[in-house]
A and B are shown apart, each in its own frame.
Chain A
């Protein structure tokens, strides 16, 4: 029931992941505090948040210790759909921004 690899990694691993998640959050808040220019800020925040999401999925949600086939079934569709949404929405957002500025 518990699966084969479940018991090997104890609370130490989880506490480390927790520590890193908090540290990355602190970096994000610090970026807001020192008021980094907006575009740089967005890129940095998204990069940091993606790392945090990956940590949560891999360790807390245990995907790293599941069979690879589960990862390969779940993750590509999600990533492709998000990339498609971004690819359609953002160029148009920039176009509107330029029109309104001008």
Chain B
């Protein structure tokens, strides 16, 4: 650890006491969080300003499925922290197994979500129109969930590279931890997309 005898706010050698990789990932996460906030605010704005916003999602199947997807992501976050903690203790093969479990959770999410997209596309929902009214519904839905899906897919690939490299001793515990930060962020974003996009579009009977 660097010498931290100088007050952190006075520009000590390492004011945050973390490695630059980790600080870099945190800065990326903050900027990415702003991108998602902008999209979520844009969605909420359109949702609010249109009295005839479609509310097509029924408890079964759409809400149930998205709840299962939430469960997959949350659980994959837990397996990820287990992996990071094993990696820091130097248990290489245990850490790799936990990261593989995380990837499985992410893949389950992707499969379920893609399945739902296909179902919606068959119902006639595209980014430009839908059978229920305000065309913006499809645009905001596919933009938000699409960007999130991109993050999940990239995350699974990222974790795959990290698991492979860590297993062969190319990466250190810190690399697993930084990958974990990204994965938790993907989970975190879904914690807002799920209520705003799915639960708020619950079919009112």
Contact = CB atoms under 8 A, between A and B. Distances in A.
Interface of A: 1-3, 6-7, 10-11, 14-15, 17-18, 21-22, 25, 28-29, 31-33, 35, 38, 41-42, 45-46, 48-49, 52-53, 56-57, 59-62, 66-67, 69-70, 73-74, 77-78, 81-82, 85-86, 89-90, 92-94, 96-97, 100-101
Contacts, number: 148
Nearest to A68: B8
Interface of B: 8-9, 15-18, 23, 26-27, 30, 33-34, 37-38, 41-42, 44-45, 48-51, 59, 63, 67, 70-71, 74-75, 77-78, 80-82, 85, 88-89, 172-174, 177, 180-181, 184-185, 187-188, 191-192, 194-196, 198-200, 202, 204-205
Interface of A is mostly: helix
A72 to B, nearest CB: 9
Given A11-B82, A14-B78, A93-B44, A69 B8 contact: yes
A77 B200 contact: no
A57 B78 CA distance: 13
Contact of A81 (B37, B74, B78): B37
B78 A61 contact: no
29 contacts: A2-B89, A7-B88, A18-B74, A21-B74, A32-B202, A33-B59, A33-B63, A35-B205, A45-B200, A53-B191, A56-B187, A56-B188, A61-B181, A66-B17, A67-B18, A69-B8, A69-B16, A78-B30, A85-B38, A89-B42, A89-B44, A90-B44, A90-B48, A93-B45, A93-B49, A96-B49, A97-B48, A97-B49, A101-B51
A50 B80 CA distance: 21
B75 A92 contact: no
